[in-house]
Amino acid sequence: MIELKTITPPVGDYGELGELGELANWRNDERVRPALRTGKLTFSSQQVEWANKVYYDNTCSYYFIYYNKILVGYCGLDKISFENKTAEISLLINPDEHRQGHGMEAVILLLDIAFDKLKLKLIYAEVNDTTSAIEFWLAQGFMVEAFLKDRKFWKGKFYNSTILNIEKEDRP
């Protein structure tokens, strides 16, 4: 069973960094880095700073993802605008645990929070053409809204991105 738990400043069973150490490892994995907004390596100290920031910032809402109580990823709503009722979705699953349905189940729970708890209207994702993740978002009911040019510089080359979005009534 998948559960989401709010990301808090470090505590937990994964060393003094808590679960944040795992997040940094996954972000630095070569299977994941091309998908991220920044290709720069993530240092543990930055994760602590980030967790403090997102915990106290009401324009974002981030969660650890657990499968049967084991940490398998993290996800969140970013750039939340309560005025316009929009947010950007963010998701990362442990690269050793891909294609087991964890991402899909986490999105269902995260969209419940977005639409039912936070009362947002539209959630969007930006997917870099460095990955095939667009297929994942289409499978969750997201629809292509726009293509953006040269949004990601990765290994000496620019890549375009795709913006997808979903509203409550579009959910599968």
Ligand X SMILES: CC(C)(COP(=O)(O)OP(=O)(O)OC[C@H]1O[C@@H](n2cnc3c(N)ncnc32)[C@H](O)[C@@H]1OP(=O)(O)O)[C@@H](O)C(=O)NCCC(=O)NCCS
Report the nearest approach of ligand X to the CB of residue 136 (Å). Answer: 4
Tell me the C-alpha distance between 167 and 96, whole Å: 31
User: Which two tokens mark 127?
Assistant: 């997917």
Print the binding letters for residues 14-43 with ligand X: x by CB under 6 A, - otherwise: ------------------x--x--------
Residue closer to ligand X by CB (options 39, 101) is 101
Report the nearest approach of ligand X to the CB of residue 105 (Å). Answer: 7
Residues numbered 87-146 forming contacts with ligand X, rule: CB under 6 A: 91-93, 98-104, 125, 127, 131-133, 135-136, 139
Tell me the C-alpha distance between 59 and 73, whole Å: 21
User: Which two tokens mark 72?
Assistant: 């398998």
Q: How many C-beta atoms surround the C-beta of residue 1 within 10 A?
A: 7
User: Which two tokens mark 11?
Assistant: 């505590």
Report the nearest approach of ligand X to the CB of residue 106 (Å). Answer: 8
Residue closer to ligand X by CB (options 11, 139) is 139
Half-sphere exposure of 29 (CA within 13 A, CB side): 16
Report the nearest approach of ligand X to the CB of residue 16 (Å). Answer: 25
Tell me the C-alpha distance between 147 and 161, whole Å: 6
Which residue's CB atom is positioned nearest to ligand X? 103
Residue closer to ligand X by CB (options 51, 93) is 93
Residue with tokens 């972000």: 27
Tell me the C-alpha distance between 108 and 16, whole Å: 31
Report the nearest approach of ligand X to the CB of residue 75 (Å). Answer: 8
Q: In one letter, which amino acid is 30?
A: E
Residue closer to ligand X by CB (options 30, 83) is 30
Residues that bind ligand X (CB under 6 A): 32, 35, 91-93, 98-104, 125, 127, 131-133, 135-136, 139
